[in-house]
Amino acid sequence: MTGRIAFQGELGAYSHEACRQARPGMEPFPCRTFEDAIEACRSGEVDLAMLPVENSTYGRVADIHTLLPGSGLRIIDEAFVRVHISLLAVPGTKLAEVKRAMSHTVLLGQCRDFLKSHAISAVTGADTAGSAKAVAEKGDPALAALASDLAGEIYGLDVLARQIEDQSNNTTRFLVMSREADFSRRAEKMMTTFTFRVRNIPAALYKAMGGFATNGVNMTKLESYMVGGSFTATEFYADIEGHPEDANVKLALDELKFFTSEHDILGVYPADHRRD
């Protein structure tokens, strides 16, 4: 055991914050890409990987759903991080001095109202914490960063304004990934995530989903994405409430198998309390 957890981005990223909240006793291990974080876990360089899957404002995180099924990793937990955005600048800077703000394009889009009201132009950076690091290195009072307070702490920046996001409920959901699956029932409310491909028969998806409706299983997510560069090969990603050993979930999954050519349980894990 290494005691480390991998995430994509620089120290101070929101994924780093998710690591601190969900696994406070582990050492964060920054990686350049999602693939690097997955490989670090798969190779044993780290014990776990923290991966963002969706944001309440912008929807699913690009590429993640296509990476997960072939990753060889399994979901053992989920975490929800409230995305509070701060305006960070070099020490001693006044808000009126800031003319430009740098961040990831998604974060820039979440602070349009604040930037417009203060006549601050947006500058696209590689990521949030990386933008904070760049602002600290440049030392220009006219250039600020949009990132977390944690990034401000790490890179020695002043917080000029807090919680400037347009959406007050802006939240990102993360999955904690491990090399080993854990199917134990370790909470009262469990979640199960799986992928599947339907058989090439009429109304296959409708019939596959019917088992969840008739057995009273709540499906909280169902998404489709193309695989192998083909318009005809579609894989589905689903989250349901319950454990595979629950009688109603077992019946629904058995019915799913009858109408699918492939299916794979990616993880069974406790539902985060913030889900409700």
Residues classed as catalytic: 172, 174
State how far the Cα of 200 lies from the Cα of 105, in Å rounded to an integer.
40
Q: Which residues contact 230 (CB under 8 A, 6 or more apart)?
A: none
Q: Which residues contact 238 (CB under 8 A, 6 or more apart)?
A: 193, 194, 195, 196, 219, 221, 222, 223
The closest alpha carbon to 198, from 159, 234, 238, 144, belongs to 234
Question: What's the DSSP call for residue 145?
Answer: E
Query: What is the torsion angle, in degrees rounded to the nearest 10, for the CA atoms of residue 59, residue 61, residue 66 and residue 71?
Result: -130
- H/E element, 252: helix 247-258
Please write down the HEC assignment for all residues of 27-87. EEEEECCHHHHHHHHHHCCCCEEEEEEEECCCEECCCHHHHCCCCCCEEEEEEEEECCCEE
Write the single-letter amino acid at 259.
Answer: F
Locate 60 and state its tokens.
């699913």
Write the single-letter amino acid at 67.
Answer: L
DSSP for 150-165, please give it: HHHHHHT-EEEES---
Write the single-letter amino acid at 165.
Answer: E
